[in-house]
Structure 1
Amino acid sequence: MIKVSGPNADQIQYWNEVAGPKWVALHDVISAQIRPLGALAMDRAGLAAGERVLDVGCGIGDTTLELGRRVGPGGAVVGVDVSAPMLDRARAAALSAGAANVAFENADAQTAALPGPFDVLYSRFGVMFFADPAAAFANLRKALRPGARLAFVCWRSLQENPWLFVPTLAVARHLPLPQPDPHAPGPFAFADAARVGAILSRAGFVRVHHEPIDRELSVAGGKSLDETVDFLLQMGPASAALRQTNAAPELVDRVRADLREAIAPHAGPEGVRMGGAVWVVTAAVD
């Protein structure tokens, strides 16, 4: 167990000891599922050759590498994340790809002095985990040059995302689920567009825009029905509930059976496909 301090200590520990190793093990299926959503935010960023980009919550680095390809050899991308296991994978991928214009920092973007100035601040599902998002975006703003742009993608509410809500309901038949603070660090912390807009405005961003995107997602990247059930039991709210209660094997089997029954109608030749709902958020710096 690592010992950390600071405002995001709980998240740093979680992403190093629990979520990070899972993402590394499951990176192929996770990336296949969310890559199209990340690409939407990249498109909205209007990247140009030669620009410098900061990739917040870069994880295993596939977004960082794609950003590097888009800005070309004259540009540069710095990926920032708190998860050492994920960054190890990111650095190995960059080395294998010969990506000389990308670099990675193991740092907390809420508090770290970042190596700006950057032309673009980008994130794919990486900005919802700050203990103090207002302080985090104020810090990120310092790393941007005048005229810089922001573009990130984040989940809307759990209820708007059947691919996660259905597994959560399956677990709820067997276990009492906690009712967390909707603004606490987590995947749905940025679901409230008005709140996020206010956070960004206070941090010095202008022309903040939330674009709602509803897409059918290839859950688990097109794997079989049973493989998708396994995936959903390892990631997301269902996984958290089972882990926190230390569920007995026979209970896990009952949850698995209910979950399989619930998502089976969505299975087809291309795997399990279910609805997902995100915001693509854009803004600028004057």
Structure 2
Amino acid sequence: MITISGPNADQIQYWNEVGGPKWVSLHDVISAQLRPLGALAMDRAGIAAGERVLDVGCGIGDTTIELGRRVGPSGAVVGVDVSAPMLDRARAAAQAAGAANVAFEDADAQTAALPGPFDVLYSRFGVMFFADPAAAFANLRKALRRGARLAFVCWRSLQENPWLLVPTQTAGRHVPLPQADPHAPGPFALADAARVGDVLSRAGFVRVHCEPIDQELSVAGGRSLDETVDFLLKMGPASAALREANAAPELVERVRADLREAIAPHAGPEGVRMGSAVWVVTAAAE
């Protein structure tokens, strides 16, 4: 585990003590839910055999392993994350998959000197947590060759993502919702396309393009209605609101009942399907 210090100390602590362990325990559910969106960004990156790829915020390593498959044995992929629990899971998964061309770095991508040069910078929901995004992307730019490609996927606003908005509003009827700075590190820090363009331009990237993708998401990867409710109370803004309010168990159960009622109309043979909205961001290193 890296030292809990520097501009992203709060995030390092959170992803080692709270977020990371939760993600590891729910990795099958989360991966099934996010895999289609991550694949969109991967496709836009145009990964080729023999390339070197940097996977930022690699988490449990499923994207890193898939990138390794795409670059083949002549290529290489390095996944970087601040969460030791998630990286432990990633290394075990890579070993089990026989992914000899991938490696993992326990490091803060905003400040660490990363091994390069890379041909591609990729991320699936891993770049929204920097204290200073422009500084982070400038640091990442140093690890890329000139002309290298960037492709990542990030959430648009909470209001555009019903799968997150409905649980948040449901929790908000029972506990106060935190009033955070919309640009603060968190899931929606890069929801503003104009800000994304400014951040990347200042960091040394050109031809920045934010492609809006709106599609139904299999919440909790297609699990049952009750499993989906449980998942939404463990991860995301509703979970954070209940945790910060130190909600008593009986209050959580009332939220659970209300949330089940709210999302039940979206349940079907393929699980709970609700709207999602992301940016698939592409650019080139100047």
Post-superposition offset of 1:199: 0.5
Q: Specify the code of the residue in structure 1 equivalent to 2:149.
A: R
Post-superposition offset of 1:245: 1.1
Post-superposition offset of 1:285: 1.6
Give the secondary structure class of the aligned counterpart of 1:94. helix
Alignment of 1:1-286 (within 5 A): 4-286=4-286
User: 1:211-258: CA deviations, max 9, x gaps?
Assistant: 000010000011110010000000001100111111011111110011
Return the alpha-carbon distance in structure 2 between the equivalents of residues 219 and 121 of structure 1.
27
Return the alpha-carbon distance in structure 2 between the equivalents of residues 3 and 28 of structure 1.
28
Post-superposition offset of 1:147: 1.3
Give the secondary structure class of the aligned counterpart of 1:64. helix
Post-superposition offset of 1:200: 0.2
Q: Specify the code of the residue in structure 1 equivalent to 2:166.
A: V
Post-superposition offset of 1:162: 0.4
Post-superposition offset of 1:3: 6.4
Structure-1-length-normalised TM-score: 0.99
Please identify runs of 4+ aligned residues in structure 1 that moved more than 4 A. Answer: none
Structure 1 stretches lacking a partner, 5+ long = none
Structure-2-length-normalised TM-score: 0.99
Contact 2:57 2:124 in 1 (8 A): yes
Post-superposition offset of 1:65: 0.2
Return the alpha-carbon distance in structure 1 between the equivalents of residues 152 and 54 of structure 2.
11
Contact 1:117 1:145 in 2 (8 A): yes
Aligned length: 286
Q: Specify the code of the residue in structure 2 equivalent to 1:137.
A: F
Q: Specify the code of the residue in structure 2 equivalent to 1:67.
A: L
Identity %: 89
Contact 1:205 1:284 in 2 (8 A): yes
Return the alpha-carbon distance in structure 1 between the equivalents of residues 3 and 132 of structure 2.
20
Return the alpha-carbon distance in structure 1 between the equivalents of residues 226 and 285 of structure 2.
47
Structure 2 stretches lacking a partner, 5+ long = none
